[in-house]
């Protein structure tokens, strides 16, 4: 036999290792607050535990942000291409939806803030 019993062991260990590292790297952590910004300034910080709708004014009009079941999304926005609306629900810490023309953004924060960009 050209495949030896230990090879299956290595394959199994490799698969488990890959799955484990994927889970460790790709899970952004549990989010507990949504930071809503308008025009670059923090408009409100709201906990995800309470379901609500928030209206955020921007230069083009009003964006509506919905928080439901510990998830957040931009429900409606006057921006022409609707990228931030089509992005859908945000769930993990570090996720962010930005409506550029209307200068409104929602960012989810977890217990430990991770950097999403660094400059030096």
Which residues of this chain interact with another protein, rule CB under 8 A? 2-7, 9-11, 14-15, 17-18, 21-22, 25-26, 115, 118
Tell me how far, at minimum, the Cβ of 21 lies from another protein, in Å: 6
Report the distance separating Cα 80 and Cα 73, nearest Å: 17
Tell me how far, at minimum, the Cβ of 28 lies from another protein, in Å: 10
Give, as one character, the DSSP assignment of residue 114: P
User: Nearer to another protein by C-beta: 6 or 80?
Assistant: 6
Q: Give the tokens for residue 63.
A: 């964006």
Computed over its alpha carbons, how large is the radius of gyration of the chain? 20
Tell me how far, at minimum, the Cβ of 1 lies from another protein, in Å: 8
Q: Give the tokens for residue 57.
A: 């004014």
């Amino acid at each position: 036999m050209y495949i030896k019993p230990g090879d299956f062991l290595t394959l199994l260990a490799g698969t488990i290792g890959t799955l484990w590292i994927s889970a460790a790297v790709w899970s952004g952590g549990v989010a507990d607050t949504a930071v809503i910004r308008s025009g670059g300034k923090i408009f409100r910080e709201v906990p995800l535990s309470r379901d609500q709708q928030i209206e955020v004014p921007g230069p083009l009009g009003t964006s509506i942000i919905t928080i439901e079941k510990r998830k957040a999304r931009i429900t409606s926005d006057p921006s022409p291409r609707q990228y931030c609306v089509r992005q859908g629900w945000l769930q993990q810490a570090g996720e962010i939806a930005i409506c550029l023309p209307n200068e409104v953004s929602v960012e989810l924060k977890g217990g430990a803030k991770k950097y999403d960009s660094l400059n030096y």
